[in-house]
A and B are shown apart, each in its own frame.
Chain A
Amino acid sequence: AQSVTQLDSQVPVFEEAPVELRCNYSSSVSVYLFWYVQYPNQGLQLLLKYLSGSTLVKGINGFEAEFNKSQTSFHLRKPSVHISDTAEYFCAVRGWGGSQGNLIFGKGTKLSVKP
């Protein structure tokens, strides 16, 4: 069965500092990974996805993530954050078998960017 672990429930950071949000997954089959962002009082929006190919994936709003198969990780990074990046971030892995087509989500990481 697939699962996703987001290692930090909250990450406070100052504006213009770099940030890394950590995500580890478990899957015994081919992996498709996603990062979504949820701004306050809104639904989820796709930041980026890894399906195959280059292990460094670039997304919207200056975010990128690196797929590391040996460490089963898919950490999200941004070199310089803005106040507007304050949101909750969810890592997800595509389900297989009975959950084909579904996404299995981590519990989320709240990023708080302070001035």
Chain B
Amino acid sequence: DVKVTQSSRYLVKRTGEKVFLECVQDMDHENMFWYRQDPGLGLRLIYFSYDVKMKEKGDIPEGYSVSREKKERFSLILESASTNQTSMYLCASSFSGTYNEQFFGPGTRLTVL
């Protein structure tokens, strides 16, 4: 079974803190993704990576950065957390290519106070 794991299910941070969300996949997938999920807005892509050390901005990259030093690991960084970044964060991975589905982790619910 494909497994995508995220470092925390729930996280509470204070405004201004630097926050790291970690994602690890065990299927040797080339592509990895970070989404943000908010009620009524669906999933919005923050960043994605199609190879080690490669990254591309998604639809809402402002306030976020990412790091991919190893193929299996993709980190989302909130440089200075703000209350409007309180959300559910979902990581996904897939093989490269046209047809390949994305596999999702369980999500991290982040609350910024």
Contacts and interface: CB of A to CB of B under 8 A. Distances in A.
Interface of A: 6, 9, 32, 34, 36, 41-46, 49, 51, 90, 94, 98-99, 101-103, 105-108
A43 B42 contact: no
B50 A43 contact: no
Interface of A, secondary structure class, is mixed
B101 A49 contact: yes
Contacts of A43: 4, 90, 104-107
| In the A-B complex, the 10 residue pairs with the closest CB atoms | A43-B104, A107-B42, A44-B104, A105-B43, A105-B42, A43-B106, A46-B101, A108-B42, A43-B105, A51-B99
Contacts of B33: 102
A34 B45 CA distance: 16
Interface string B32-76: 010000001111110010100000101000000000000000000
A44 B94 CA distance: 13
A4 to B, nearest CB: 8
B74 to A, nearest CB: 14
A42 B106 contact: yes
Interface size class of B (residues with CB under 8 A): 20 to 34
Contact of B45 (A42, A45, A102): A102
15 contacts: A34-B101, A41-B106, A41-B107, A43-B4, A43-B107, A44-B43, A44-B90, A44-B104, A90-B42, A90-B43, A102-B58, A105-B42, A107-B40, A107-B41, A107-B42
Contacts of B105: 43
Contact of B94 (A9, A45, A101, A108): A101
A36 B92 CA distance: 13
Nearest to A45: B104
Given A41-B107, A45-B104, 16 more contacts: A9-B40, A32-B99, A41-B106, A43-B4, A43-B104, A46-B102, A49-B99, A51-B98, A51-B99, A101-B31, A101-B98, A105-B43, A105-B44, A106-B42, A107-B41, A108-B42
Contacts of A107: 40-42
